[in-house]
């Protein structure tokens, strides 16, 4: 029996960003004893890097704005692959969540008449983003953190215990969701500082772990974003959807190399910044796709007039959805018209006075001055695409945020799929995590309340022992023993360095499954990932469990490799270009693909023997030989053709670790009254004739 520290709660929230804290607040206010597990320090979640604002149709800057307009913009941005019910709930409830933050102490920028100020952002028809300069995410986390503290103070006044009903476990990592049969029973994890193992028994678990960006070489994401929640859900038996759709934010820093990928907020463009190539040309006018041409300016004069008179001018093309802008920048650089360091120029200095820039964009002014010695009040910035956001995630019920197929598991924020479709609009992330963070906490609390203590699931000791053995494996990796589980085919292969494996993974994803994708390259990526998965079992770390970042990375590699496989597999399968998924060999958007969700699941048993993933190949060489699939039958038949799924549809060989399978699932039909919000001519660009006539 493994020696672990054990706790018991009603609801466990994994992740302490905006979605996690909002879920924890809701669960606690519903009377549940709630634990929050934070991978970093409390208040240091990646949400603080969300700079531009919270999208909510409050109508403070333009009285024409309402939830229906916000819903339309969100569906257009996601190229109609969004789950329409999630988009509807989000648009309707976002204003209440912003006003709620204000009652909890959030200090938003104000209009002249004292209302919450709202700014322009890409893809939004009206100024919609409630903001605090360009530090909105920081203020959001500060407000939620303070709300947590206030609830703890209330509990202390009533019970004498600050943490009796709501406790934050800082600098801890969860490695497994524990189960009793098909139901959630709690989580297994370790304390990063000491290496101490722990179990929290709970009938309801909310995943709010954010994204997967550290699988890519160039990313705006912080170190915590290693796909933990995606992998935890998959290993627990929950499906993932839309994993092919990754947003590459168009504006990340490109120089110096040490800061490459750090986010440059869309607020710069929302406040008037323009994009120019090395020839000084404002190039975005040449990249407005047909589906957006009616709404975006075709000349600089018209675009410039929009800022003062939006009623009679069309929007500047710099404010197109992020996927369009990122592809345009990529094309300019490839054509040899990029900046000296491989980006393009973003200039706000010719639009606003130095004082106004410092007031509206204080973080950007400080960031470029300190990190790149660039004064954005007097000169342009160099920017380029950076891996920013994962649209895919846990397949959840729209109203409850409950993960499909795993009773007691919930997900909210970036780790949940469906809300954003194929591309997320800027500002919709913060409102998403508030709306669905609250819903996840609410329904997790209701679920837990419906299970009295004698009926609650409990994880067996064998499962806990297996989780502990998995966590401690890097201290005794399978190196050179010649055994079948070593994955070395008896070759006595040497141990692996987790840092080397991580660098190779990032390079593979960046080069072969990046912003522009091709079928043969993604097949190569799947082969490389299979080899890396085998080698990762030989990742060895030295020293003790205390203060051991190599051990932490070795455990994170499981998650990053598993999620990367899902991304590559789904991207190979979807033979069209849509939103955050661009195929150079299939450049067009196919209406028949709009009806299809690609669902990733595990098959067989995983490396811990939990019966959720399978070891399907004895060697890395065998994986490479087998490849990711066989004949691409669906290329001829199309998404709905009789040929069905390609060879990639079954379990895909990934070495002796987890094996992922892929299947297609039809999209739920959009409710007729919501379709009526769009003109038929616009819907014809996205929906099939059969969908429109149904």
- For 444-481, what is each residue's pLDDT tens digit? 999 999 998 888 999 999 999 999 999 999 998 654 44
pLDDT class for 49, splitting at 50, 70, 90?
Answer: confident
pLDDT at position 604: 63
Q: How far apart are CA 513 and CA 568, in angstroms?
A: 6
Residues 389/249, Cβ–Cβ less than 8 Å: yes
pLDDT at position 693: 84
pLDDT at position 478: 56
Query: Smallest Cα–Cα separation from 248: which of 212, 224, 280, 281?
Result: 212
Residues 276/344, Cβ–Cβ less than 8 Å: yes
Residues 45/233, Cβ–Cβ less than 8 Å: no
Q: How many residues does the chain have?
A: 694
10 Å CB burial of residue 196 (0-12, 13-18, 19+) is middle
Q: How many Å from the N-terminal Cα to the C-terminal Cα in the chain?
A: 59
Partners of 602 in the β-ladder: 660
Say yes or no: domain 5-245+391-455 is CATH 3.50.50.60: yes
Residues 15/39, Cβ–Cβ less than 8 Å: yes
Among the four given CATH numbers 1.10.10.10, 3.40.1390.10, 1.20.1260.10, 1.20.58.100, the one describing domain 481-672: 1.20.58.100
pLDDT at position 290: 87
Q: Where are the domains of the chain?
A: 5-245+391-455, 247-388, 481-672
- For 185-231, what is each residue's pLDDT tens digit? 999 999 999 999 999 999 999 999 999 999 999 999 999 999 999 99
Task: Reply yes or no on whether the pLDDT at 152 is more than 90.
Answer: yes
* Cα–Cα distances in angstroms (integers) from residue 409 to residues 110, 123, 163, 417, in the given order: 39, 33, 23, 14
pLDDT at position 103: 97
Give the sign of the dihedral formed by CA 112, CA 115, CA 121, CA 125. Answer: negative
| Residue at token pair 């906490």 | 441
- Least confident piece of the model among 129-133, 487-491, 558-562, 625-629: 625-629
SS3 374: coil
The alpha carbon torsion through 468, 474, 479, 484 (nearest 10 deg) reads 40
Task: Reply yes or no on whether the pLDDT at 486 is more than 50.
Answer: no
Instruction: Quote the DSSP letter at residue 474.
Output: G
- Least confident piece of the model among 2-16, 531-545, 648-662: 648-662
10 Å CB burial of residue 554 (0-12, 13-18, 19+) is buried
- Least confident piece of the model among 22-31, 161-170, 322-331: 322-331
- Please name the residues in contact with 275: beta carbons below 8 A apart, sequence gap of 6 or more: 269, 282, 283, 284, 318, 325, 328, 329, 344, 345, 346
pLDDT at position 454: 87
Residues 467/461, Cβ–Cβ less than 8 Å: no
Give the mean pLDDT of the chain.
89
Cis peptide preceding 434, ω within 30 of 0: no
Q: How far apart are CA 399 and CA 409, in angstroms?
A: 14
Q: How far apart are CA 570 and CA 246, in angstroms?
A: 11
Query: Smallest Cα–Cα separation from 326: which of 263, 272, 278, 279?
Result: 263
- Using only C-alpha atoms, what is the Rg of the chain? 24
- For 253-263, what is each residue's pLDDT tens digit? 999 888 999 98
- Residue 655 CB neighbours (<10 A): 26
The CATH number that domain 247-388 falls under is 3.90.700.10
**Residues 667, 671, 673, CA angle at the centre, nearest 5°?**
155
Q: How far apart are CA 335 and CA 357, in angstroms?
A: 32
Q: How far apart are CA 430 and CA 128, in angstroms?
A: 12
Query: Which of 176, 322, 438, 524 is flagged as catalytic?
Result: 322
Residues 634/576, Cβ–Cβ less than 8 Å: no
Please state the rounded mean pLDDT for residues 84-99.
98
Please state the rounded mean pLDDT for residues 311-337.
92
Q: How far apart are CA 356 and CA 33, in angstroms?
A: 47
10 Å CB burial of residue 461 (0-12, 13-18, 19+) is exposed
Query: Smallest Cα–Cα separation from 240: which of 414, 38, 445?
Result: 414
- For 591-627, what is each residue's pLDDT tens digit? 999 999 999 999 764 443 344 433 333 233 333 333 3
**Residues 373, 375, 380, CA angle at the centre, nearest 5°?**
105
Please state the rounded mean pLDDT for residues 490-496.
71
Query: Smallest Cα–Cα separation from 24: which of 192, 149, 135?
Result: 149
- For 359-403, what is each residue's pLDDT tens digit? 989 999 999 999 999 999 999 999 999 999 999 999 999 999 999
Q: How far apart are CA 532 and CA 496, in angstroms?
A: 10
pLDDT at position 593: 96
Task: Reply yes or no on whether the pLDDT at 270 is more than 90.
Answer: no
Q: How far apart are CA 263 and CA 251, in angstroms?
A: 7
Three-state SS letters, 38-77: CCCCCCCCHHHHCCCCEECCCCCCCCCCCHHHHHHHHHHH
What's phi and psi for 684, nearest 5 deg? -65, -20
Task: Reply yes or no on whether the pLDDT at 647 is more than 50.
Answer: no
Active site residue 315: no
Give the sign of the dihedral formed by CA 518, CA 523, CA 529, CA 532. Answer: negative
What's phi and psi for 202, nearest 5 deg? -165, 140
b/e 242-253 (16+ beta carbons within 10 angstroms → b): bbbbbbbbbbbb
Task: Reply yes or no on whether the pLDDT at 554 is more than 60.
Answer: yes
pLDDT at position 321: 87
pLDDT at position 627: 36
pLDDT at position 610: 46
**Residues 146, 149, 150, CA angle at the centre, nearest 5°?**
85
- For 662-675, what is each residue's pLDDT tens digit? 999 999 999 999 99
Task: Reply yes or no on whether the pLDDT at 542 is more than 90.
Answer: yes
């Amino acid at each position: 029996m493994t020696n672990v520290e054990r706790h018991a709660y009603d609801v466990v929230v994994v992740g302490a960003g905006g979605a996690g804290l909002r879920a924890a607040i809701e669960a606690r206010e519903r009377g549940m004893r709630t634990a929050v597990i934070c991978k970093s320090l409390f208040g240091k979640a990646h949400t603080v890097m969300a700079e531009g604002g919270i999208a909510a149709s409050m109508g403070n800057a333009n009285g024409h704005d309402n939830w229906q307009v916000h819903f339309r913009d969100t569906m257009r941005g996601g190229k109609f692959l969004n789950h329409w019910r999630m988009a509807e709930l989000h648009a309707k409830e976002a204003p209440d969540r912003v006003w709620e933050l204000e009652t909890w102490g959030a200090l938003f920028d104000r209009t002249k008449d004292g209302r919450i100020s709202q700014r322009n952002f890409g893809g939004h028809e009206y100024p919609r983003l409630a903001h605090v300069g360009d530090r909105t995410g920081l203020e959001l986390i500060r407000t939620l953190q303070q709300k947590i503290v206030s609830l703890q103070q209330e509990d202390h006044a009533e019970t004498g215990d600050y943490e009796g009903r709501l406790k934050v476990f800082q600098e801890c990592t969860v490695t497994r969701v524990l189960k009793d049969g098909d139901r959630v029973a709690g989580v297994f994890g370790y304390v990063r500082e000491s290496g101490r193992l722990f179990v929290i028994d709970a009938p309801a678990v909310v995943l709010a772990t954010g994204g997967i960006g550290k699988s890519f070489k160039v990313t705006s994401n912080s170190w915590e974003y290693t796909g933990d929640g995606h992998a935890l859900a998959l290993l627990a038996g929950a499906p993932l959807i839309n994993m092919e759709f990754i947003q590459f934010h168009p504006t990340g820093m490109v120089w110096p190399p040490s800061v490459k990928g750090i986010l440059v907020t869309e607020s710069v463009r929302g406040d008037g910044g323009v994009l120019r190539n090395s020839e000084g040309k404002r190039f975005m006018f040449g990249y407005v796709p047909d589906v957006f041409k009616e709404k975006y300016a075709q000349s600089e004069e018209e675009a410039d007039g929009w800022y003062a008179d939006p009623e009679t001018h069309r929007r500047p093309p710099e404010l197109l959805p992020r996927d369009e802008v990122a592809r345009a920048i990529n094309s300019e650089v490839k054509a040899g018209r990029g900046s000296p360091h491989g980006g393009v120029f973003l200039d706000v200095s010719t639009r606003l006075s130095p004082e106004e820039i410092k007031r509206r964009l204080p973080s950007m002014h400080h960031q470029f001055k300190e990190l790149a010695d660039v004064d954005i009040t007097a000169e342009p910035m160099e920017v380029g695409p950076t891996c920013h956001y994962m649209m895919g995630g846990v397949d959840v019920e729209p109203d409850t945020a409950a993960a499909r197929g795993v009773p007691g598991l919930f997900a909210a924020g970036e780790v949940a799929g469906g809300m954003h479709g194929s591309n997320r609009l800027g500002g919709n992330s913060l409102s998403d995590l508030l709306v669905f963070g609250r819903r996840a906490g609410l329904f997790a609390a209701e679920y837990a309340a419906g299970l009295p203590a004698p009926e609650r699931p409990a994880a067996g000791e064998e499962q806990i022992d297996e989780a502990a053995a998995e966590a401690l494996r890097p201290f005794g990796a399978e190196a050179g023993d010649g055994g079948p589980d070593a994955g070395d085919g008896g070759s006595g292969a040497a141990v692996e360095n987790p840092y080397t494996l991580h660098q190779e993974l990032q390079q593979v994803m960046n080069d072969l499954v990046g912003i522009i994708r091709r079928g043969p390259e993604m097949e190569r990526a799947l082969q490389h990932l299979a080899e890396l998965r085998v080698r990762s079992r030989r990742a060895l770390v030295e020293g003790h469990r205390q203060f051991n970042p190599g051990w932490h990375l070795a455990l994170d590699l499981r998650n990053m490799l598993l999620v990367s496989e899902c991304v590559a597999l789904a991207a190979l399968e979807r033979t069209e270009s849509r939103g955050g998924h661009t195929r150079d060999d299939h450049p067009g958007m196919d209406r028949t693909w709009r009806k299809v969700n690609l669902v990733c699941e595990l098959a067989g048993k995983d490396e811990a023997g939990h019966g959720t993933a399978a070891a399907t190949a004895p060697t890395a060489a065998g994986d490479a030989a087998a490849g990711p699939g066989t004949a691409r039958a669906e290329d001829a038949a199309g998404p709905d053709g009789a040929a069905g799924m390609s060879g990639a549809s079954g379990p895909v060989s990934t070495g002796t670790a987890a094996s992922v399978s892929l299947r297609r699932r039809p999209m739920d039909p959009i409710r007729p009254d919501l379709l009526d919000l769009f003109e038929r001519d616009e819907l014809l660009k996205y929906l099939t004739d059969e969908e429109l006539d149904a």
